[in-house]
Amino acid sequence: MDTSTLTRISDYEWRIEAQGDMRVPGIIFASHDLVEAMDEKVREQVRNVAALPGIVLASYAMPDAHWGYGFPIGGVAAFDADQEGVVSAGGVGFDISCGVRTLLTGLQRADIEPFKTRLADALFHSIPVGLGSTGDIHLDDSGMTAMLSGGARWAVKRGWGYREDLERVEEQGCMAGAQPEQVSVQARKRQRNEMGTLGSGNHYLEVQEVSDIYDPDTATAFGLARGDIVISIHCGSRGLGHQIGTEFLKSMALSAHQYGIRLPDRELACAPLDSDTGRAYLGAMRAAINCALANRQIITHLTREVFARILPEAELALLYDVSHNTCKVEEHVIDGKPRWLYVHRKGATRAFGPGHPDLPADFADSGQPVLIGGSMGTASHILAGTREGEALSFSSACHGAGRAMSRHQAVKLWQGRQVTDTLLEQGILIRSPSARGVAEEAPGAYKDVNAVVDAADAVGLARKVARLKPVICIKG
């Protein structure tokens, strides 16, 4: 991106001045190098989002932002229903409620080293992974409705986890306002056999070592110490979420003129929050959030079963579970007054600061754990939400490294076997059903996650707590 067209606010904040149809400015949080490396399409999409009705304050892009469908991936925007605000399926994305949950194990690297290969094989064979993967859970229509209504709470009631898990899950494991009746027959059909599966693309289950601690007090509050082994699970609502996104993008595009909405880009299809289309989408999207929360809960149960067989001394307590493709109704202070807003986060993580009423008491002083996934073979990070992030970006932070090139470009540069062998030399075991999928997700296809996290920390979106180094990666 050409930085000469931006107004530099600070070392890590850049403004796109409001002009033309833009109702608010655009704000990009990133270092000079990260901004320069962003595609020009990011600026165009930030500007287009800024032109949507009812948008509040600004259209934001996180340090890992890159070109997406409608909204940039790494995009954040809030809308006010009382100001003719809209909801956009493109502002949530196709993989609704894709997110990360991290488990503590109570183990050290030396504890798992003799069992590493056995553990990698057992996890790969026990947790379905890959394009179109299915599991052993088969839901009939009533079971599907119960899952879409109950989320992780439904899963725990079915025996896949513990009640204490729910205290460490966003929305306490169940998204209120879900309307399973708004989820189509086709979406239900796609999900019927996919519960407890990772899927493909950038989804993964990783066994990781805590390699660095940046904030000892917060790390202690989170239960983290250098040398600890943790497990991170990254996945979402699978085929159901994708189908909901596909269907509502089409219906929103067709109905936009009916509501007097002029779309700067058809991919930004949206509907007024108080319209039939808008309400139907919110109900279906919230059901998909519950699907994703239930899915990660079931995968947690399967992971615990593997560890119980191989390393029974492992504890596998849940640190936190947070999504990064959602639209949530949240109270934020605007011009000194609280307002209820519909905050879209697409490839962006909620990052509530210390004292926020929606956080468990355990995190009252530390702020919310913000779980940042790295690319395959590179570090992941755990950050903590900040109070200043509320004013900066509606309490939002980055979600990962962010792609630096397309999957098509990646497979021209790397072969799956080559990537697997290179990572093995670094002590990282990869298990995947697809050599092409490994090539698409090669570490070099992504931005430097350390630079992304440094930018988020420097500007105050979230603060660094710990760095995680991959040991085993089960890859879609």
* CA–CA separation, 31 and 28 (whole Å): 9
In the set 234, 332, 399, 408, the catalytic residue is 399
Q: Which residues of 337-347 are buried (b: 16+ CB within 10 A; e: fewer)?
A: eebebbbbbbb
The one-letter amino acid code at 135 reads G
Asked if 399 is an active-site residue, the reply is: yes
The token duo for 275 is 């319209």
CB neighbourhood size of 421 (10 A): 11
* CA–CA separation, 166 and 176 (whole Å): 14
* CA–CA separation, 221 and 216 (whole Å): 9
Output DSSP code: residue 59: E
Nearest 5°: the CA angle 20, 26, 30 is 145
Residue 112: half-sphere exposure toward Cβ, Cα within 13 Å: 29
Strand partners, 382: 371, 466
Helix-strand-coil split of the chain, %, nearest 5? 40, 25, 35
* CA–CA separation, 230 and 135 (whole Å): 24
From 51, 25, 78, select the one nearest 341 (Cα to Cα): 78
* CA–CA separation, 307 and 103 (whole Å): 12
* CA–CA separation, 205 and 321 (whole Å): 14
Instruction: Say if CB 27 and CB 17 are below 8 A apart.
Output: no
Q: Which uninterrupted H or E stretch holds 319? A: strand 317-323
* CA–CA separation, 262 and 96 (whole Å): 25
User: What are the residue numbers of the active site?
Assistant: 399
